[in-house]
């Protein structure tokens, strides 16, 4: 069964006095692209996460985010930007002198200036934390995979119904096909006789040429190929591996045959069916862009 490239998985667990959250989001992409956003002490897990995803996904852009909030398992880091503080101090001294202001430039004032003192929060390195993150990531990946599978089932059902609609239009076209050549022959015969009247120099040769012209509008071959493509499309929808590119190729072949039918048949009734078939093909094409 096909799978969608769109999915979401999220798992959360308490961690000391805070919480630990792992989120996975997947969207459409021509290839497999994985982006990890991990706290610095957990950055060594990135390769293992990517390998786990590669074993279960073949296409799509997948973003994984790990968040550690609160708790005594975090450590704070205070950063002092001394060059910036010196620039602030010099600027304030210049301002005080030029405007003849009173007051002192003290530590409290300097510490309150933007970006002079900053605090970064990072979880402390803890083997237990790494193991819990790996467990939650595996669960979130399972949820993501399950959602992609459910979405794929819905896509397959929708596309099967649209292919069936195309098949019904094809049946109507096939029923009319046997009359196309004779009608084309009769139309051209009437036009030629109207132009030439009773002075047709070589009637047998003329009728032979008209028969060849009428036969050029035969679309039996295109109908057979279109039917073959639809059978392959249905079979591909039942495969377990990644088939998005295969489905896209088959749709191109669909479009080629449908366009040829419309141009060769030169028939108003068939043209109406061709328009409806093209509309369904466009809707299927939009759905195929979501298939892994």
**CATH number of 27's domain:** 3.30.230.10
In a domain, residue 1? The reply is no
Among 93, 113, 148, the domain-final residue is 148
Residues 31 and 130 in one domain: yes
Residues 218 and 258 in one domain: yes
Q: What is the domain extent for residue 96? A: 74-123
Nearest Cα to Cα of residue 32 among 275, 267, 248, 242: 242
- 239-to-12, 236, 289 alpha-carbon distances in Å: 34, 5, 17
The interaxial angle of helices 127-196 and 244-265, nearest 10 deg, is 10
**Structural domain total, the chain:** 3
> Could you give the residue ranges of the DSSP H alpha helices within 73-126?
82-99, 107-111
Output the tens digit of pLDDT for each of the chain's 292 residues: 789 999 999 999 998 778 899 999 999 998 999 999 998 888 889 999 999 999 999 999 999 999 988 655 455 567 788 888 889 889 988 988 888 888 888 888 888 888 888 766 555 567 888 899 999 999 999 999 999 999 999 999 999 999 999 999 999 998 887 777 666 666 666 676 676 666 666 667 656 665 665 556 678 888 999 999 999 999 999 888 889 999 999 999 999 999 998 888 778 888 899 999 999 999 999 999 999 9
């Amino acid at each position: 069964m096909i799978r969608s490239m769109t999915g979401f998985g999220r798992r959360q667990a308490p961690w000391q006095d805070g919480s630990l959250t792992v989120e996975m989001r997947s969207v459409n992409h021509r290839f497999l692209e994985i982006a990890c956003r991990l706290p610095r002490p957990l950055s060594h897990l990135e390769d293992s996460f990517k390998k786990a995803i590669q074993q279960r996904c073949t296409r799509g852009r997948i973003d994984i985010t790990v968040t550690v909030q609160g708790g005594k398992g975090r450590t704070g880091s205070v950063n002092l930007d001394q060059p910036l503080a010196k620039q602030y101090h010099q600027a304030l001294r210049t301002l005080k002198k030029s405007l003849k202001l009173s007051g002192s430039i003290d530590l409290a004032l300097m510490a309150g200036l933007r970006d002079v003192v900053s605090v970064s929060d990072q979880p402390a390195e803890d083997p237990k934390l790494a193991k819990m993150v790996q467990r939650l990531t595996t669960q979130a990946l399972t949820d993501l995979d399950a959602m992609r599978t459910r979405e794929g089932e819905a896509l397959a059902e929708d596309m099967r119904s649209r292919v069936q609609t195309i098949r019904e239009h094809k049946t109507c076209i096939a029923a009319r096909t046997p009359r196309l050549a004779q009608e084309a022959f009769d139309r051209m015969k009437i036009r030629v006789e109207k132009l030439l009247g009773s002075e047709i120099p070589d009637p047998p040769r003329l009728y032979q040429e008209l028969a060849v012209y009428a036969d050029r509008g035969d679309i039996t071959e295109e109908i057979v190929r279109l039917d073959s493509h639809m059978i392959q499309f249905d079979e591909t929808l039942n495969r377990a591996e990644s088939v998005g590119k295969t489905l896209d190729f088959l749709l191109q072949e669909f479009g080629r045959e449908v366009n040829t039918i419309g141009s060769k048949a030169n028939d108003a009734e068939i043209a109406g069916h061709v328009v409806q078939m093209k509309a369904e093909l466009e809707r299927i094409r939009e759905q195929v862009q979501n298939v892994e």
